[in-house]
C-alpha cells in the first residue's frame, strides 16, 4: 500500500491541556481541518504551562498567590466570553486544595502520543473537554486513565509509559523545543511548508490569519473545500468529531452564535443529535 502524500503545510501547536486560549482555538483548528483536510497536518508540542502552582505568576492576567484558583476561574469565565467555547470554571474551586501543576496532564498526552498520534489527538481533545467544560480533574491519574480508555488507547501500555518515565522524557523534549523556539505563551503556532520555510504565531489567532499565511507559504497549491451549510452538513460535522460546541459550529459554518445554537437545538429537538450541558453552554453529539 503506497504511503500517503505528505502534507503541504504542517501546523505545530505549542499548548497545554489546561490553557483556556488553546481551548478557544479548537474551533479554528476544526475550521482548518474541514477546509483543507489532509493537506494541512496539525501536531502538538506540550508546553507545561504551570510547573509549580505555588510559584506560578501571570501578572498580565493578575494570577498568582494564595487566591490562584479563584483568579484562574475568573480568567476562564472572562476568556470564555471572548473566545466563545464553554467553560465550567468551578473546576478550579473543586481542585484548589490539591492542584499543584499542569505537568501531569502534559505527560499523559505524551504517553498517548507514544502509542498512536491520531488517538493522542483525540485524547488531547478529551482532556480539554473534561477540564474546561465537564468539571473533571485531569491532573488525577484515574481521570487520565478513564479518558485514555474512552478514546481507544491501550490502557496497560498507557500506564507503563507513564510509570517507566518514557512519557515524562518525551515531555521534557517538548519543553526543550519550546525553549529553543522561545515559546513562553500558549497557544503558539509554527506553520511550515514542504521546503522548510516556516513562520511563528504567538498567542490566539483567528482563522483568517492562518488563511493569509497559508497563501504566503503554499500559494495556489492548497485546494480549498467548499463547506455546505444545510442540516446534513451540520449533522456530518457533529458525527465526524463526536462532540462539538456551539462556537465550533458557528466558526466552521460561518454562523452567528445565536444562529448556530438555534440550528443545533432544532436538530436535537428532532432527535437527530443529542445535547448535554457544558459549563456555561452546551455540547452536541451523536448518540
pLDDT at 3: 52
Residue-wise burial string across 92-102, b where 16 or more C-beta atoms lie within 10 A, e elsewhere = beebbeebebb
Residue 214 in any domain: the answer is no
pLDDT at 208: 97
**146 and 82 part of one domain:** yes
Report the C-alpha gap between 133 and 20 in whole angstroms.
11
For the chain, the straight-line distance linking the first and the last C-alpha, in angstroms and rounded, comes to: 34
**167 and 261 part of one domain:** no
pLDDT at 171: 98
Confidence bin at 161 (pLDDT 50/70/90): very high
Confidence bin at 60 (pLDDT 50/70/90): confident
Average pLDDT over residues 176-194: 96
**58 and 175 part of one domain:** yes
Residue 58 in any domain: the answer is yes
Residue 176 in any domain: the answer is yes
Based on DSSP, count helices (H) and strands (E) in the chain, helices before strands: 13, 9
Residue 209 in any domain: the answer is no
Residue 136 in any domain: the answer is yes
CB 203 within 8 A of CB 187: yes
Confidence bin at 4 (pLDDT 50/70/90): low
The verdict on pTM exceeding 0.85 is: yes
pLDDT at 32: 98
The H or E element that residue 27 is part of is helix 26-36
User: Strand 9-15 to strand 40-46: parallel, antiparallel, or no bridges (unpaired)?
Assistant: parallel
**111 and 18 part of one domain:** yes
Report the C-alpha gap between 275 and 17 in whole angstroms.
23
Residue 42 in any domain: the answer is yes
Kindly write down the DSSP assignment for every residue of 144-187, as one continuous string: HHHHHHHTT--HHHHHHHHHTSHHHHHHHHHHHHHHHTT--SSS
Q: Which of 228, 239, 238 is nearest to 264 (CA)?
A: 238
Average pLDDT over residues 147-157: 98
Kindly write down the DSSP assignment for every residue of 84-126, as one continuous string: -----TTHHHHSTTT---SHHHHHHHHHHHHH-HHHHHHHHHH
Q: Which domain holds residue 248?
A: 231-285
Domain termination site, one of 155, 180, 205: 180
Residue 71 in any domain: the answer is yes
pLDDT over 90 percentage in the chain: 95
**74 and 169 part of one domain:** yes
Crossing angle for the helix pair 141-150 and 103-115, to the nearest 10 degrees: 30
pLDDT tens for residues 98-129? 999 999 999 999 999 999 999 999 999 999 99
Tally of structural domains, the chain: 2
pLDDT at 5: 75
**165 and 253 part of one domain:** no
Report the C-alpha gap between 18 and 96 in whole angstroms.
14
CB 138 within 8 A of CB 131: yes
Residue 209, pLDDT > 90, answer yes
Residue 279 in any domain: the answer is yes
**236 and 133 part of one domain:** no
Residue 159, pLDDT > 90, answer yes
Q: Which of 220, 150, 201 is nearest to 8 (CA)?
A: 220
pLDDT tens for residues 43-57? 999 999 999 999 998
Amino acid at each position: 500500500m503506497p504511503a500517503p502524500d505528505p502534507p503541504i503545510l504542517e501546523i505545530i501547536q505549542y499548548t497545554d491541556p489546561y490553557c483556556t486560549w488553546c481551548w478557544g482555538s479548537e474551533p479554528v483548528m476544526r475550521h482548518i481541518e474541514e477546509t483543507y483536510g489532509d493537506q494541512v497536518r496539525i501536531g502538538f508540542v506540550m508546553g507545561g504551562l504551570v510547573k509549580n502552582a505555588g510559584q506560578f505568576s501571570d501578572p498580565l492576567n493578575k494570577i498568582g498567590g494564595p487566591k490562584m484558583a479563584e483568579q484562574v476561574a475568573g480568567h476562564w469565565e472572562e476568556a470564555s466570553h471572548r473566545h466563545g467555547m464553554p467553560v465550567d470554571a468551578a473546576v478550579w474551586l473543586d481542585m484548589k486544595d490539591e492542584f499543584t501543576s499542569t505537568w501531569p496532564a502534559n505527560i499523559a498526552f505524551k504517553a498517548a502520543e507514544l502509542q498512536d498520534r491520531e488517538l493522542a489527538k483525540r485524547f488531547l481533545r478529551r482532556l480539554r473537554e473534561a477540564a474546561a467544560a465537564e468539571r473533571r480533574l485531569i491532573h488525577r491519574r484515574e481521570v487520565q486513565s478513564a479518558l485514555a480508555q474512552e478514546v481507544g488507547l491501550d490502557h496497560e501500555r498507557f500506564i507503563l509509559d507513564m510509570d517507566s518515565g518514557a512519557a515524562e522524557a518525551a515531555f521534557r523534549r517538548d519543553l526543550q523545543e519550546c525553549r529553543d523556539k522561545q515559546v513562553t505563551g500558549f497557544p503558539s503556532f509554527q506553520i511550515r511548508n514542504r521546503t522548510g520555510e516556516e513562520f511563528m504565531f504567538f498567542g490566539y489567532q483567528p482563522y483568517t490569519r492562518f488563511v493569509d499565511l497559508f497563501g504566503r507559504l503554499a500559494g495556489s497549491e492548497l485546494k480549498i473545500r467548499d463547506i455546505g451549510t444545510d442540516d446534513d452538513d451540520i449533522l456530518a460535522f457533529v458525527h465526524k468529531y463526536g462532540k462539538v460546541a456551539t462556537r465550533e459550529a458557528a466558526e466552521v459554518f460561518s454562523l452567528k452564535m445565536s444562529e448556530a445554537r438555534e440550528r443545533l437545538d432544532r436538530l436535537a429537538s428532532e432527535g437527530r443529535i443529542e445535547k448535554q450541558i457544558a459549563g456555561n453552554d452546551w455540547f452536541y453529539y451523536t448518540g
